[in-house]
């Protein structure tokens, strides 16, 4: 399968190293207002989607759970009440600095990318990622790395923007292309960053395509659940 994300930055084709550099700079720039922007862009609905993710993980006391690209720690905080060992793994020091100030001491933070996590093979009980998989440099490499760190029977849950139902797609496109970059300019002072984020949603595989990529990476019990008419989608898989 051709990797749909490798070398793509918005509408521009760049090499993988340059793509990674730009994405890291983007999140460093918006870290302080990232959660506020998410609230405004989604009218707060992203918090309901993330609560659904946290419930679906079904975290058990004593488990090791990694929230990949967890940045400001909003999903990690939801899972930390379970008594599990929760670790946020993110490539952006700026995002994690915000997260450390908001999370309880039970949540740990480590720097790492989706393609190279600082965890042993077969060491993680569950791994989550919310709205971060579309920002990886190479999708198949990231899925392979996620599969590597999970224990046999480990759960992978990915919450990501996806393809909305045809009936609502025109309204969603109008909001995405006309409103979100303007909000980025007004609130986050980074309109170019939100131009990229909108394009990254468009470049990301649809529901069935991502499910196929997960199966190719070795995951079993692959499935998904649409949220808000397919605007967002919760994907799941298990390491056999």
Q: Thinking of the domain 8-239, which architecture would CATH place it in?
A: 3-Layer(aba) Sandwich (3.40)
Does 22 have pLDDT greater than 60?
yes
Does 52 have pLDDT greater than 90?
yes
What pLDDT does 77 receive?
Answer: 95
What pLDDT does 6 receive?
Answer: 53
Find the mean pLDDT for residues 200-208.
90
What pLDDT does 82 receive?
Answer: 87
Torsion 58-61-63-66 (CA) sign: positive
Domain-wise residue ranges, the chain: 8-239
Confidence of residue 131 (pLDDT cuts 50, 70, 90): very high
Q: For residue 149, give both structure tokens.
A: 């760190």
Does 4 have pLDDT greater than 90?
no
What pLDDT does 123 receive?
Answer: 98
Does 213 have pLDDT greater than 90?
yes
Does 32 have pLDDT greater than 70?
no
The angle formed by the CA atoms of residues 51, 53 and 54, to the nearest 5 degrees, is 65
What pLDDT does 15 receive?
Answer: 59
Does 1 have pLDDT greater than 70?
no
Q: Where does the chain show beta strands of DSSP type E?
A: 8-9, 12-13, 64-68, 85-90, 107-111, 124-130, 150-161, 219-227, 232-239
Of 106-110, 195-199, 234-238, the one with minimum mean pLDDT is 195-199
- pLDDT digits 0-9 by tens, 144-193: 999 999 999 999 999 999 999 999 999 888 877 777 767 666 765 666 66
Rounded to whole angstroms, how far apart are CA atoms 51 and 16? 33
Does 39 have pLDDT greater than 90?
no
What pLDDT does 73 receive?
Answer: 94
- What percent of the chain has a predicted confidence (pLDDT) above 90? 62
What pLDDT does 176 receive?
Answer: 75
β-strand 85-90 against 64-68: which pairing, if any? parallel
Q: Which residues have a Cβ under 8 Å from the Cβ of 62 and sit 6 or more positions away?
A: 83, 84, 85
What pLDDT does 217 receive?
Answer: 98
- What percent of the chain has a predicted confidence (pLDDT) above 70? 80
Confidence of residue 210 (pLDDT cuts 50, 70, 90): very high
């Amino acid at each position: 399968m051709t990797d749909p994300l490798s070398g793509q930055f918005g509408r521009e084709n760049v090499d993988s190293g340059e793509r990674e550099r730009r994405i890291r700079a983007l999140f460093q720039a918006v870290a302080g207002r990232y959660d506020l922007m998410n609230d405004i862009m989604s009218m707060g609905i992203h918090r309901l989607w993330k609560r659904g993710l946290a419930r679906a993980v079904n975290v058990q006391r004593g488990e090791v759970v990694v929230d990949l690209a967890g940045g400001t720690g909003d999903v990690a905080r939801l899972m930390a009440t379970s008594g599990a060992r929760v670790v946020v793994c993110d490539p952006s020091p700026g995002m994690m600095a915000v997260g450390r100030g908001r999370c309880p001491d039970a949540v740990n933070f480590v720097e790492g990318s989706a393609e190279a996590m600082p965890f042993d093979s077969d060491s993680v009980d569950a791994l989550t990622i919310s709205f971060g998989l579309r920002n990886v440099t190479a999708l198949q490499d990231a899925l392979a790395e996620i599969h590597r760190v999970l224990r046999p029977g480990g759960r992978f849950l990915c919450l990501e923007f996806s393809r909305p139902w045809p009936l609502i797609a025109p309204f969603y496109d109008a909001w995405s292309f006309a409103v979100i970059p303007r909000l980025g300019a007004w609130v986050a002072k980074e309109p170019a960053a939100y131009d990229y984020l909108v394009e990254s949603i468009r470049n990301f595989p649809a529901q069935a395509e991502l499910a196929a990529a997960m199966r190719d990476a070795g995951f079993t019990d692959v499935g998904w659940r649409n949220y808000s008419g397919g605007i967002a989608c919760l994907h799941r898989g298990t390491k056999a």
